[in-house]
Chains A and B, each alone.
Chain A
Amino acid sequence: MNSAPPRAPFLRIDRLRKVFGDFTALNEVSLAIDEGEFICFLGPSGCGKTTLLRAVAGLDIQTAGRVWQAGRDISALPPAERDFGIVFQSYALFPNLTVARNIAFGLENQKLKRADIERRVTELLALVNLSGQEGKYPAQLSGGEQQRVALTRALATSPGLLLLDEPLSALDARVRAHLRVEMKALQRRLGVTTIMVTHDQEEALTMADRIVVMNHGVIEQVGTPTEIYRRPDTLFVAEFVGAMNRIAGVGASDGRVTVGEVTLDTQAHAAAAGAPVVAAIRPEDVLPHAGAEGGGESSGGGGDSAGGDAADGDAASAAAKGNNRLQARVDYLEFLGSFWRVSLTCAALGGVALTADLSSNAMRRMRIEAGARVDLELPAERVLVFPRGRGA
């Protein structure tokens, strides 16, 4: 059966549908994955990412649509006739078997000699830095160690495809960050095609070669982490991956966007003049500029009333400066360690609330504090425009 479609990717998913009663969990999902790629299915819970993974595994076979793996149509095959290893969120380690027996589980009944199995187990454990743990039971291991045993068990039979169902979500933040690096390195070394399901965008951004963002049973966007982050196709992707300021406006005739009294320069967009749109910019792209009158000198409570008086005139002058320079008032500050998250209100944009992520240096240099007024720049190449849907 080597009659797969032309230019065959390693895994090809063609218009997959999965229906549970009235609920459509997957709607015409198509995807191609190349050999050796690390793919993340990313999306909120209920978006269909796990359903898609289970369909690829054959654990819950799709209602319609086909799946090819390595040129073979596996659409209707039961899991045992496919070629994959899987790690579940719970790890599903056999509690009464030792680490070694867990890993050897898939190697038995394969005409392998006992000594060969033992050697393979030792070798695999060394690969994940668990040498010497053969005799322990899963309950005696830490969460991170259990996760690695589950990974090792899945890789023991050298499957063509590795499926990971939220493999890190049961771990605490530090172990998770560490294992992210380790798993990615291991995947590179082994070159095994990998699909990981996650709802954690950080995990997806750091680990994946390509991210598949899903929502409501359809794929919103497929792209590399930087593509997904920098050039989201939809407002959903923009807001789900990373933080995003959204500014409701309407398309202006010259391809810009009008918000309240100002017209913003933005990235090119296709919205017609007068059409409702959302201008979006990430908090770290909001640039503060030193030297806003009033903001610089004022300190403590005195600046508050002074700023209030000047608000109207300032807004007009800021917009006149062009290049999306606006004045805003600092509402409150949130200290997040390496940076500050600053909540701002921008009167010129109709009182819209903005957040900006600023380094501690910038904060100090510009003496930004609650109640201060700052000059902001929204760089045009960073302002994305999306059509505004119902009620957005």
Chain B
Amino acid sequence: MTADADTATTDATTVTAPASTTPAAASPAARIRPKTGRDDKIMAAFIAVIGLYLIVSLALPLYAVLSKSVSAFYFDLGNFEFQVDRGAGWSAPVTARQLNDELRALSPEELRTSGDGRLAVTVFFPDFNFRAPTRYRIRQVQPEAAFLAGTRRVADTDWHTFDSNQFRRVVLRASKSTGLDNYRAYFSTPALFRSLKNSLTIAVISTVLTVALAFGFAYALTRSAMRFKGLFRIIAMAPILVPSLLPGIALVYLFGNQGMLKSFLLGESIYGPIGIVIGSVFFTFPHAMIIITTALSLSDARLYEAAVSLRASRWKTFWTVTIPGARYGLVSAAFVVFNLVITDFGLPKVIGGQYNMLAVDIYKQVIGQQNFEMGAVVSVVLLIPALLAFTIDRVVQKKQVAQLSSRSVPYAPQPHRRFDALCLLYCVLVTVFIAGLIGVCQYAALIKFWPYDLSLSFNNYNFDVMDGGGWDSWKNSIRLALYTAAAGTAVIFCGAYMVEKTQRFVATRAAFQFLAMLPMAIPGMVLGLAYIFFFNNPANPLHGLYGSMAILVICTVTHFYTVSHLTAVTALKQMDREFESVAASLKQPFHKVFSRVTVPVCLPSVLDISIYLFVNAMTTVSGVIFLYSPDTALASIAVLNMDDAGDIAPAAAMGMMIFYSNIGARLIHLLLTRKVMRNTQAWRTRRGEAVR
């Protein structure tokens, strides 16, 4: 509102003129430049700090990915010249390109490389023998690339002479060019390009299945009068508490090569699209269910009454009232699920087999082939559908909010025996599927040696004798989750407060809001890779963070920033806009309102944010897979690595440890919330006795 006042005047002379200059009646009134008060300064400093955090932890790393994806590296053969002395004096200089053209030693594809590429010069000399008395000279024409002689880097344009024993250790380094070469290479490599198709296919199929299943479940929860609704809801939420790769492990036990129910697949393999889709439905189900349940419970009972009074059939009412009322929820759920599936890494890694998906490709390019540029290209390719899905979801959510604010009467379902029984049966089936997969994991974790020794033991919990970091990785995960919950909640809530309650700095706040929304659209793999590029750059003063616990915390907080930010903003919007104005009129600083009123009143939301961050920090794989060091191995990564190494039972055991840790955290959260409600929120519960 005060933007114009803020930026309006540059006319400092009239502003600083003393008050005694009572303006002459004829002259137009002087523009006013508001004096910046102490509160404004503190708030500006806060916004700057948190904005800087988002720039460093999000904007700059993403920029690093983009710029990496357009830097191609290749061996510039024309830039290197050789001379050979086979005892008869130096031959005429000849470029490596000329030699290669004669020999056809390397194809153009083989000349493309990564930033780390090295090329031994001996390939250009088929008769090379390191015992021969031949001498070689090499020089650069332009000082643009470099070559290594052993470990010595040579970047000048002088001739350097080597005997043949030294010459075998001379390697060329790559030259850098900026352009779309990497993208051209990506789209002309069928193996890579196929992953895009695979990812889209799996995401679409999983989305349709999950939304359909979740809609049935949400419909039963909101429209029937069946029993056990609370229990169904709790079980349906369970997948949120485990890493996305856990259902993969359960599916291996059920349908894998030695699976209990292998025959059910009629000869199809679980390793591939079938496994990914089933697992995706499992881990995205709660997300879709929450959104659709919310949408369905918003519906207006008066519309149903009208439908009844117009003698519309149940079927017709369903299509004319229920579905249109829930359409935003359905669309939003669809895009959220799509986004989760297409960006997920853990599940296709565990159960994808030979079926490649984008997120796994990033991992393979970076960890397997050390081709960081191609990893960046795949990241950008993955970013596009994710950004699109995110944008559509935001637009749709806004519409739903508008619908929510309208006044409506909540729908109260009436008992209806056959319908209720049907709903109950359906919900039992869904929850058996969910609880079943988790149960299989627990069972697998306790069996000595599937399928040969089915006796129970805790051997698989003996993590310290296995790869993956042992019990320390679990402790690291707990530490990471606690730090993330504490630091993240503080940063995110303060940031949301500044955006929501500051009057000035309109442009800055808009930029901040954009940055705060961005993480939801950024796949974890992309963020992790971005951190490698940004923080592992020796020129970066923050280089020291690389490999530390701090970078894991920063990455996780940023990865899950958006949802927490929105939770905080929603809570803050319910606070009276004028609290800060009242405090200012009473000459009290804004932070007194913040600490004495805003935080206590918002405490339930603050706790919600911290449990959300905690649970996600426990289960995340994709964000941190590139960033952990041997000292900071995490439980979720240990699950992945143990599974990779064939220790599937310990992987399941570690997965269940994450599950139980999260249940514990949720219970503590529940108790804390109750306690907080009882103590600091006394004013809320006493409202019942309010004078009428």
Interface of A toward B, CB cutoff 8 Å: 1, 3-5, 14-17, 19-21, 28, 57-66, 68, 72-73, 75-82, 84-86, 88, 90, 92, 94-97, 105-106, 108-109, 137-142, 145, 153-154, 156-157, 159, 163
What residues of chain A lie closer than 8 Å to B40, measured between beta carbons?
78
Given known A63-B8, A108-B588, contact A86–B37 (CB-CB < 8 A): no
Q: Determine if A96 and B597 form an interchain contact, defined as CB atoms under 8 angstroms apart.
A: yes
Q: Determine if A80 and B38 form an interchain contact, defined as CB atoms under 8 angstroms apart.
A: yes
Q: Determine if B581 and A64 form an interchain contact, defined as CB atoms under 8 angstroms apart.
A: no
Question: B89 within 8 Å of A by Cβ?
Answer: no
Q: Determine if B579 and A81 form an interchain contact, defined as CB atoms under 8 angstroms apart.
A: no
Q: Determine if A153 and B689 form an interchain contact, defined as CB atoms under 8 angstroms apart.
A: no
Q: List 25 interface pairs A-B (beta carbons < 8 Å), by A numbering.
A: A1-B19, A15-B28, A19-B4, A57-B581, A58-B34, A60-B2, A63-B32, A64-B31, A73-B18, A77-B35, A80-B37, A80-B39, A80-B588, A92-B578, A95-B684, A96-B601, A97-B597, A105-B583, A106-B585, A137-B683, A139-B690, A140-B686, A140-B687, A140-B691, A141-B690
Which residues of B, 567-602, contact A by the 8 Å Cβ criterion?
Answer: 576-579, 581-589, 592-593, 596-597, 600-601
In the bound complex, how far is the Cα of B584 from the Cα of A84, in angstroms? 10
In the bound complex, how far is the Cα of B583 from the Cα of A78, in angstroms? 12
A77, A82, A137 pick with most chain B CB within 10 angstroms: A137
Q: Choose among A72, A105, A142 the residue that contacts B586 (Cβ–Cβ < 8 A).
A: A105
Q: Choose among A64, A78, A95 the residue that contacts B683 (Cβ–Cβ < 8 A).
A: A95
Interface of B toward A, CB cutoff 8 Å: 1-2, 4-5, 8, 15, 18-20, 22-23, 28-40, 503, 576-579, 581-589, 592-593, 596-597, 600-601, 680-684, 686-687, 689-692
Given known A86-B582, A137-B686, A157-B586, contact A3–B601 (CB-CB < 8 A): no
What residues of chain B lie closer than 8 Å to A84, measured between beta carbons?
585
Q: Determine if A65 and B32 form an interchain contact, defined as CB atoms under 8 angstroms apart.
A: yes
Main secondary structure of the interface of A (DSSP, over half): loop
Q: Determine if A73 and B32 form an interchain contact, defined as CB atoms under 8 angstroms apart.
A: no
Q: Determine if A66 and B23 form an interchain contact, defined as CB atoms under 8 angstroms apart.
A: yes
Q: Choose among B586, B684, B686 the residue that contacts A106 (Cβ–Cβ < 8 A).
A: B586
What residues of chain A lie closer than 8 Å to B35, measured between beta carbons?
76-78, 81
In the bound complex, how far is the Cα of B579 from the Cα of A88, in angstroms? 10
CB of B15 to closest CB in A, whole Å = 7
B4, B19, B589, B593 pick with most chain A CB within 10 angstroms: B19
What residues of chain A lie closer than 8 Å to B38, measured between beta carbons?
80
Q: Determine if B683 and A96 form an interchain contact, defined as CB atoms under 8 angstroms apart.
A: yes
What residues of chain A lie closer than 8 Å to B37, measured between beta carbons?
77-81
Closest to A163 in B: B585
In the bound complex, how far is the Cα of B684 from the Cα of A138, in angstroms? 10
CB of B633 to closest CB in A, whole Å = 43
In the bound complex, how far is the Cα of B682 from the Cα of A139, in angstroms? 11
CB of A227 to closest CB in B, whole Å = 25
Q: Determine if A94 and B596 form an interchain contact, defined as CB atoms under 8 angstroms apart.
A: yes
What residues of chain A lie closer than 8 Å to B503, measured between beta carbons?
59-60
In the bound complex, how far is the Cα of B589 from the Cα of A126, in angstroms? 28
CB of B354 to closest CB in A, whole Å = 59
What residues of chain B lie closer than 8 Å to A142, measured between beta carbons?
691-692
Q: Determine if B576 and A90 form an interchain contact, defined as CB atoms under 8 angstroms apart.
A: yes
What residues of chain B lie closer than 8 Å to A88, measured between beta carbons?
576, 578, 581-582
In the bound complex, how far is the Cα of B4 from the Cα of A331, in angstroms? 54
Q: Determine if A157 and B587 form an interchain contact, defined as CB atoms under 8 angstroms apart.
A: yes
In the bound complex, how far is the Cα of B34 from the Cα of A142, in angstroms? 38
Give 19 new A-B contacts, CB below 8 A, not counting A1-B18, A28-B29, A64-B29.
Answer: A1-B19, A16-B29, A59-B581, A63-B5, A63-B8, A63-B32, A66-B29, A66-B32, A72-B19, A73-B19, A76-B35, A77-B37, A78-B35, A86-B582, A96-B597, A96-B680, A96-B683, A109-B592, A141-B691
Q: Determine if A4 and B691 form an interchain contact, defined as CB atoms under 8 angstroms apart.
A: no
Closest to B584 in A: A79
Given known A20-B1, A81-B35, A95-B601, contact A145–B681 (CB-CB < 8 A): no
Given known A139-B686, A157-B587, contact A3–B34 (CB-CB < 8 A): no
Q: Determine if A78 and B586 form an interchain contact, defined as CB atoms under 8 angstroms apart.
A: no
Q: Determine if B29 and A17 form an interchain contact, defined as CB atoms under 8 angstroms apart.
A: yes
What residues of chain A lie closer than 8 Å to B680, measured between beta carbons?
96
Q: Choose among B30, B39, B585, B596 the residue that contacts A66 (Cβ–Cβ < 8 A).
A: B30
In the bound complex, how far is the Cα of B15 from the Cα of A227, in angstroms? 38
B15, B36, B689, B690 pick with most chain A CB within 10 angstroms: B690
